[in-house]
Amino acid sequence: MLIAEPAPGRSFRVVGSFSRVVRLGEGLSASGRLSEPAIRRAVNALKVCAGRLRGARVRNVRGVATEACRRAANGPAFLARVESETGLALEPITPDAEARLTLDGCTPLLDPAFPRVLLFDIGGGSTEVSWIAHERPGDRARILGTVSLPHGVVSFAERFGGDAVDPGAFAEMADIVHGLLEPFDATHDIGRAVAADEVQLIGTSRTVTTLAGVYLGLRRYARTRVDGLAMNFDDVARVSAQLADTDWQQRADNPCIGPQRADLVVAGCAILDAVCRRWPVGRLTVADRGIREGLLMGMIDGGDGRRPVGGG
């Protein structure tokens, strides 16, 4: 959750934030449903959000539900429960709308030197990739195509383990994603643009921000150090291999990972490895921003939003 106020120049200033790892998609790939423990975790976190919104006297609110709710058979029932117990009405959005919001949130990081952008988001139960045209500075970037892969850090960790992950399991995760990206690559002739050095690669996910924090050797995660950081692929591969060679406790002790994500980060590194192998751009731009910032930009531009829970 982000709470912000408008600032000059079509921007905003963040005045409050909250996040909590709830693993809403835990078990979804096996059952096709959101589990009761995951629902309780999510509802409890959203109750905190609702309380902070009331306390801050927020005037406009917009909340969205993404892949886990789209895929789950009980997704609509979950959203109804959220509204009943927290007062927050979450709007289920399509993959295309999710891609647009993510792109809007990452727009400040687009490099005008590159006419094409690959933007990816490694989630819990899925991985989203967008192919984007960014041909003239000042023009709104256009999404040329999107793909949603049914694999993310939670689903892979459930399948391959989240403690000491052996090299064979890491390679299998990466190969699965690499193969699934091939049709998208061929449809849009992305390889040709990569070979012509026309492509910027941007990653927005906890995986890439965690990797960046470890790369920088941060004793405490700092968004200002990570957001917009450029990492070359050699450093990405080195830090990924370093993390893959550790066990759960070693990762949990890292201040940029912690116990909540210690079982997930290696799966994320495997997915990232597949993206980098499929599209050897050579450099990754790290984005600690995405859907939430895109929502705020849309609300500033168009004033869309809802009254917060409890009024105000």
Q: How many CB atoms lie within 10 A of CB 198?
A: 15
Residue 156: the pLDDT is 95
Kindly state whether residues 34 and 151 are assigned to the same domain: no
Spatial CA neighbour of 173 closest among 122, 135, 113, 221: 122
277: its two tokens? 């192998």
240 and 180, same domain (yes or no): yes
Of 93, 119, 134, the domain-final residue? 93
For the four alpha carbons of 277, 274, 235 and 244, in that order, the dihedral sign comes to negative
Residues of the chain with pLDDT > 90: what percent? Answer: 78
Same domain, 84 and 224: no
Does 97 score more than 60 pLDDT? yes
Inform me whether the pLDDT recorded for 310 exceeds 60: no
Question: Is the confidence at residue 312, as pLDDT, over 70?
Answer: no
Question: What are 223-280's pLDDT values in tens digits?
Answer: 999 999 999 999 999 999 999 999 999 999 999 999 999 999 999 999 999 999 999 9
Task: Note whether residue 149 is domain-resident.
Answer: yes
> Is residue 44, in this structure, part of any structural domain at all?
yes
- Answer yes or no: do 44 and 121 share one domain: no
Whether residue 312 is contained in a domain is answered as no
124 and 189 together in one domain: yes
Residue 308 included in any domain? no
List, for residues 18-45, the tens digit of each pLDDT value.
888 898 988 888 899 999 999 999 999 9
Shared domain for 71 and 118, answered yes or no, is no
pLDDT tens readout for residues 103-161: 999 999 999 999 999 999 999 889 999 999 997 777 889 999 999 999 999 999 999 99
- The pLDDT, as a whole number, for residue 307 is 44
Taking 70 as the threshold, does the pLDDT of residue 303 lie above it? no
* Phi, psi for residue 6 in degrees, rounded to 5: -60, 150
Residue 181 lies in a domain: yes
Instruction: Determine how many CB atoms are found less than 10 A away from the CB of residue 96.
Output: 13
How many other β-carbons are positioned within 10 Å of the β-carbon of residue 40? 12
Per cent of the chain over pLDDT 70 is 96
In a domain, 162, yes or no: yes
Residues 6 or more apart whose Cβ sits within 8 Å of residue 46: 82, 85, 86, 88
SS3 state at 230: strand
Count of the separate structural domains present in the chain:
2
Query: What is the C-alpha separation between 145 and 185, in angstroms, rounded?
Result: 10
> Is 306 inside any structural domain?
no
Tell me the pLDDT of the chain averaged across its residues: 92
| CATH code for position 145 | 3.30.420.150
142 CB-side CA count, 13 A: 6
Residue 219, both tokens: 């004793």
Of 229, 246, 245, the closest CA to residue 289 belongs to 229
- Do 187 and 287 belong to one domain? yes
CATH code of residue 11:
3.30.420.40
| 150 and 261 share one domain | yes
Q: Do 84 and 210 lie in a common domain?
A: no
Asked whether residue 147 falls in the same domain as residue 26, the answer is no
Domain boundary among the residues 27, 62, 93 is at: 93
pLDDT of 309 strictly over 60: no
The residue count for the chain: 312
Q: Report the C-alpha gap between 305 and 311 in whole angstroms.
A: 13
Q: Is 172 within a domain?
A: yes
Using CA atoms, how far residue 250 sits from 162, 243, 257, in Å, is 12, 9, 10
Read off the pLDDT band of 311 (50, 70, 90): very low
d(CA 301, CA 104): 11
pLDDT computed for residue 304 by the predictor: 52
Cα–Cα distance between 99 and 145 in angstroms, integer? Answer: 9
Residue 199 has pLDDT above 80, yes or no: yes
Residues 148 and 187 in one domain: yes
Residue-level pLDDT at 67: 86
Which pair of structure tokens corresponds to residue 58?
Answer: 């927020």
Tell me the one-letter amino acid at 42.
A
In this structure, the answer to whether residues 141 and 266 fall within a common structural domain is yes
Q: By residue range, what is the domain housing residue 71?
A: 2-93
pLDDT the model gives residue 262? 95
